[in-house]
């Protein structure tokens, strides 16, 4: 077996590198979503409104989106080892300072720095794993790494929520710091230095226009529902600026000799199709984690502990899926991707059958199945995307790869929440039209059961039940969208080239 790895490392060094890359991925992925479990506590402590405290999450996402495409340039400029060490160190410091923040402005500042420092960790760590292992071992390495990549966002909100209830929201940040420091030290010891290279120049025009376009798009999708989309002047202006910036980026990239992002990479069919597939994958990855907790807590009357257990089962399924993908590495990557997306289709169809009396067993089964499908699909998507791409282009290509994955998550969650709110409002109005003493159904005790309109308490109870049912219709519509996205991804899997065919 030929060793075509870029880094010549011992088996022990490769194993330790895998450990530290996986750990950095878990830490950063956890920090992105952990705030979702802390928002109510932070809102009270910092004396902020719900809209104001949400900026702590929005600005972190925007900073991550802007910095992710910079990964290739930063790693070439500073060196990969220095980039990982400094990113982990600054990430640890900013995470600690997030916990010490006493005002909303301080928290937002440190969350921005946390997003900037953490953004290169996942794409560059992903690149290091590919470069340190022979191509024949990529499937096995990515299977283990995939567990961390998928399980991390599940662990963060679950453990962070428990710790914040016991000790305060600050400790949800502080628990990350020692592990981040240990990871920085580990990268400093394990990673070898690459030969000196001529520092690349930065295409400032391309960087600024792409950054403005990405930041604008993230702001629109993060705040669109809260501001009623294009009924808001803010959303209209930001959308216009984002579209103009993206147009300028495309024109500039096609007409300059050294663009910030080489659009020529998309001439590689596997890479181009991989970008579409990872966008679809991103749309499916975090959606149940974000949509299910409010449904179960607010409408199905599940406890926080039960909800945390169901989210944890998704992580278990993802780990099992990654192990399955590793053990079946000889199967065609296209078939494995189709299996993964098909499981998402089946899991989505199962969610479409949910009602307000959904049983714990049905929830657990669908949650594990979706996690399993996510774990199965992740590894072959990564393998086929970079199978035909030159090693020197991996850092740049990996930045765009993870950018589109995160952007897909942001887009789908925003659209799904908008659909839930719209459908809930419309159906609530329609169903309330039937609530009238002139409706003959109210003359039938066997039809109305214990519901009554004879008192304000009875009317309030009935209005609340209608609100729950209307919201459930909205969630079912969102789960239908989830199923359609998973189904649409399956035919695309057939268009990619088999990595084995290329290597042969």
Q: Look up the CATH number of the domain holding residue 28.
A: 1.20.1250.20
What whole-number distance in Å separates Cα of residue 236 and Cα of residue 431? Answer: 33
For the chain, the domain total comes to 3
Indicate whether 31 and 150 sit together in one domain: yes
- Whether residue 108 contacts residue 56, with contact meaning beta carbons closer than 8 Å, is answered with yes
- Whether residue 145 contacts residue 129, with contact meaning beta carbons closer than 8 Å, is answered with yes
Residue among 56, 37, 62 at smallest CA distance from 104: 56
Indicate whether 369 and 335 sit together in one domain: yes
Supply the DSSP string of 176-201, one letter for each residue.
Answer: THHHHHHHHHHHHHHPPPPPP-PPPP
- Whether residue 34 contacts residue 158, with contact meaning beta carbons closer than 8 Å, is answered with no
**For position 178, what pLDDT does the model report?**
92
Q: pTM, whole model, 2 decimals?
A: 0.77
What whole-number distance in Å separates Cα of residue 380 and Cα of residue 278? Answer: 11
What whole-number distance in Å separates Cα of residue 224 and Cα of residue 236? Answer: 10
**For position 1, what pLDDT does the model report?**
39
- Whether residue 139 contacts residue 379, with contact meaning beta carbons closer than 8 Å, is answered with yes
In a domain, 178, yes or no: yes
In a domain, 336, yes or no: yes
Instruction: Give the CB-side neighbour count of residue 327, counting CA atoms within 13 A.
Output: 7
Structure tokens at 487: 């189904």
Q: Which of 192, 223, 251 is the last residue of a domain?
A: 192
**For position 41, what pLDDT does the model report?**
73
Indicate whether 243 and 271 sit together in one domain: no
What whole-number distance in Å separates Cα of residue 219 and Cα of residue 239? Answer: 9
**For position 328, what pLDDT does the model report?**
67
In a domain, 3, yes or no: no
**For position 36, what pLDDT does the model report?**
64
Structure tokens at 428: 């609530």
**For position 313, what pLDDT does the model report?**
78
Please give the biggest Cα pair distance in the chain.
86
Q: Which of 135, 167, 192 is the last residue of a domain?
A: 192
**For position 230, what pLDDT does the model report?**
79
Indicate whether 421 and 276 sit together in one domain: yes
Tens-binned pLDDT, residue by residue, of the chain (504 aa):
345 555 667 778 888 888 888 888 888 877 776 776 676 677 777 777 655 666 777 677 778 877 887 887 788 778 888 888 999 999 999 999 988 888 888 888 898 899 889 888 888 887 888 777 776 676 677 767 766 666 666 666 667 767 777 788 888 888 889 989 999 998 888 887 765 555 566 677 888 888 888 888 877 877 777 777 778 888 899 899 989 998 998 888 888 877 777 777 788 888 888 889 989 998 888 778 778 877 887 787 777 667 767 777 777 787 788 778 777 667 778 888 899 999 999 988 998 888 888 888 888 888 888 888 888 888 888 888 887 777 777 767 777 887 788 788 878 877 888 888 888 888 888 877 776 666 666 666 655 656 666 666 666 777 777 888 888 888 999 999 999 999 999 998 888 877 655 444
**For position 139, what pLDDT does the model report?**
65
Indicate whether 253 and 268 sit together in one domain: no
In a domain, 198, yes or no: no
Indicate whether 235 and 326 sit together in one domain: no
Indicate whether 308 and 430 sit together in one domain: yes
CA angle 25, 30, 33 (to 5 degrees): 135
Indicate whether 323 and 279 sit together in one domain: yes
The 3-state DSSP composition of the chain as helix, strand, coil percent (nearest 5) reads: 80, 0, 20
Residue span of the structural domain in which 231 resides: 203-259
Instruction: Tell me how long the chain is.
Output: 504
Contacts of 310 (CB under 8 A, 6+ apart): 292, 296, 302, 360, 363, 364, 367
Indicate whether 414 and 493 sit together in one domain: yes
Residue among 323, 359, 348 at smallest CA distance from 488: 348
């Amino acid at each position: 077996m030929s060793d075509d790895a870029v880094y010549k490392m011992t088996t022990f060094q490769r194993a330790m590198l895998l450990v530290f890359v996986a750990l950095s991925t878990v830490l950063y992925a956890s920090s992105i979503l952990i705030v979702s479990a802390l928002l109510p506590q932070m809102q009270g402590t910092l004396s902020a409104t719900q809209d104001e405290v949400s900026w702590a999450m929005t600005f972190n996402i925007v900073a991550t989106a802007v910095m992710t495409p910079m990964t290739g340039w930063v790693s070439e400029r500073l060196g990969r080892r220095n980039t990982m060490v400094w990113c982990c160190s600054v990430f640890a410091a900013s995470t600690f300072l997030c916990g010490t923040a006493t005002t909303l402005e301080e928290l937002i500042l440190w969350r921005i720095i946390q997003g900037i420092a953490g953004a290169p960790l996942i794409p560059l760590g992903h690149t290091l794993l590919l470069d340190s292992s022979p191509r024949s071992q990529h499937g096995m390495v990515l299977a283990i790494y995939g567990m961390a990549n998928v399980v991390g966002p599940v662990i963060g909100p679950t453990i962070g929520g428990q710790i914040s209830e016991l000790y305060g929201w600050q400790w949800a940040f502080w628990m990350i710091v020692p592990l981040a420091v240990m990871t920085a030290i580990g990268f400093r010891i394990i990673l070898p230095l690459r030969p000196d290279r001529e520092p690349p120049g930065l295409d400032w025009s391309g960087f600024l226009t792409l950054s403005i376009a990405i930041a604008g798009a993230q702001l629109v999708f993060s705040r669109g529902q809260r501001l009623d989309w294009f009924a808001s002047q803010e959303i209209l202006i930001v959308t216009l600026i984002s579209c103009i910036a993206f147009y300028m980026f495309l024109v500039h990239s096609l007409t300059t000799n050294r663009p910030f992002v080489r659009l020529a990479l998309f001439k590689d069919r596997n890479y181009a199709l991989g970008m579409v597939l990872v966008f679809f994958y991103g749309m499916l990855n975090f959606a149940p984690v974000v949509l299910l907790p409010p449904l179960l807590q607010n409408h199905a009357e599940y406890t926080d502990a039960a909800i945390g257990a169901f989210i944890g089962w998704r992580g278990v399924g993802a780990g099992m899926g990654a192990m399955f993908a590793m053990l079946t590495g000889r199967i065609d990557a296209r078939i494995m991707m189709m299996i993964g997306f098909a499981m998402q289709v089946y899991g989505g169809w199962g969610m479409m059958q949910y009602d307000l009396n959904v049983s714990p067993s049905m929830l657990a089964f669908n949650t594990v199945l979706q996690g399993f499908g996510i774990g199965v699909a992740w590894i072959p998507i990564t393998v086929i995307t970079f199978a035909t791409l030159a090693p020197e282009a991996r850092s740049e290509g990996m930045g765009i790869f993870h950018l589109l994955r995160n952007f897909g998550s942001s887009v789908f969650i925003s659209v799904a929440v908008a659909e839930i709110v719209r459908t809930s409002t419309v159906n609530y109005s329609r169903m309330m039209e039937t609530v009238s003493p002139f409706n003959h159904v109210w003359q039938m005790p066997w039809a109305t059961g214990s519901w009554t309109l004879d008192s304000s308490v009875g009317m309030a109870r009935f209005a609340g039940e209608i609100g729950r049912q209307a919201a459930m219709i909205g969630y079912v519509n969102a789960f239908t969208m989830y199923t359609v996205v998973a189904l649409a991804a399956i035919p695309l899997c057939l268009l990619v080239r088999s990595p084995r065919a290329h290597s042969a």
